[in-house]
Copies of this chain bind each other. A is one copy, B any other.
């Protein structure tokens, strides 16, 4: 039976950085070759990064992308890697329009191309806006093995390319993906891949992107399953990884080509069978992380990549002594190292003594840079000059802090982190241009009860490792307060967070309507009050900065031109 060694290169690409991503492909193809692979599979649109959003419809970017693909084929060959077939996702643009495509690079040339057929247009995806669907399938003959390709959503939708490949006859299917992290998503991925392998009648190798890109984070979790549904290998989450897998494959009963269902199937010869060789041991099956660990890693990855991909080297944030800023500081230290994190205590006349001591305890535990900048003088100028009272007086405190952080950002080059959580954001318990200030909001998609769970989990992890728990116990246990007037606590304005979060989860994530929420046992008065707050808060959310999405329905879904990083016109 013909043998084939494939490599799944679970890498971290950057949107717009064509030359950096091309270098990444060369580097990991070299690793694949050093591992003896004949075929290396990269994630979806690895050459452009994902999601490219409106860059897709800029023809000069599409041209740069397919020129970069041709150049990459040559670079790989020049580097002595032309004998490894590389499946490289890129942005195509033909007479019909832009395509989410893969090219197969071999011997210095692009020997095959295929475009994604099913274009997801829900949740975080807008692919019908950006791409035209493909209707052809290139099946590669590598080492005498017939290898089909399906791109991401083509795997998730019933029917379509997988069925056509099964009908045409393939020995193996490889699938480049950019599948964003959601909580508990790996519970869905493995059964899906198993089902599709059975439909194709062949093993299936699923290679996912890893790393943070704007609001999205990709968790990796690449998989290989046999035609019988057996899990052969699984890559770890949230890190770059090369998985090598050997196949010794029986040939399919027959191989068809031409029009099969909705697809035009083409057979592409790449290479002859190789002499028999000793196969590698089976790859490792990494266990998925626990729920808290997975969320923590997602937040750390999203934060780290946002900071680095946007050219920053350090971050600054307000340390109030409360749980939100403590968790954000701890995430930042894990993501960037303590030396890149600047915490500022900004006490006002309403600040409690513990707000300062807990903030300074946080700094001592983690080693981050700590300073104190009182806001009393700034606030009093505004209050007295404008005669501010009530909400206006509360908000000016939050805003003086926001301005202070931005001034430090301008003076020293740090990115400002906003520390708001999803619960307070959802109900509008947040001051625009105040605590909402920042270029990135690490926990904007984390409900308050989960913020506490994460703090406890992170401290327990530290204890397991014999390290100092980063988050002061007092920040976890004390009642939350905005401290914008004397004796203020969150429970003056909001329901208990455990009830609020349950309701928000049902209303926002679950899209449940009023009647459904009553039927689920929530009190009518509470539902009325919370839904009114959520609907009103929409206005404020418009100005909220990006943050890592850990659920399908974060607040502040914003689909815009991504920062282009490396790529520029010309």
Contact = CB atoms under 8 A, between A and B. Distances in A.
Interface in A494-521: 507, 511, 513-516
Contact of A128 (B121, B531, B570): B121
A158 B93 CA distance: 23
Nearest to A524: B570
A391 B378 contact: no
Contact of A511 (B58, B128, B527): B58
A217 B450 CA distance: 41
A433 B539 contact: no
A399 B545 CA distance: 17
A381 B377 contact: yes
Interface residues of A, number: 71
Interface in A366-412: 373, 377-378, 381-382, 385-392, 395-396, 399-400, 402-404, 406-408, 410-411
A437 B399 CA distance: 12
A51 B528 CA distance: 25
A122 interface: yes
A310 interface: yes
A568 B543 CA distance: 22
Given A407-B382, A410-B395, A560 B542 contact: yes
A126, A386, A402, A403 interface centre (most CB from chain B within 10 Å): A403
A403 B399 contact: yes
Nearest to A396: B407
A400 to B, nearest CB: 7
A556 B560 contact: yes
Contacts of A507: 569
Contacts of A58: 511, 513
Contact of A407 (B392, B406, B541, B570): B392
A185 interface: no
A346 to B, nearest CB: 11
Contact of A385 (B54, B377, B387, B559): B377
Contacts of A395: 406-407, 410
Contacts of A538: 560-564
A403 B407 contact: no
A439 interface: yes
A60 interface: yes
B433 A410 contact: no
A148 interface: no
Contacts of A437: 433
A558 B542 contact: yes
A327 B570 CA distance: 36
Contact of A411 (B378, B386, B439, B562): B386
A396 B403 contact: yes
Contact of A557 (B54, B381, B411, B432): B54
Interface of A: 54, 57-60, 63, 121-122, 126, 128-129, 310, 373, 377-378, 381-382, 385-392, 395-396, 399-400, 402-404, 406-408, 410-411, 432-433, 437, 439, 507, 511, 513-516, 527-528, 531-532, 535, 538-539, 541-543, 545-546, 556-564, 568-570
Given A538-B561, A539-B563, 13 more contacts: A54-B557, A121-B129, A126-B126, A373-B386, A378-B385, A381-B381, A388-B410, A391-B410, A403-B433, A406-B432, A513-B569, A513-B570, A535-B564
9 tightest A-B contacts by CB?
A60-B513, A514-B570, A392-B410, A514-B569, A392-B411, A128-B128, A399-B403, A531-B569, A377-B381
5 contacts: A58-B511, A58-B513, A381-B381, A535-B568, A557-B561
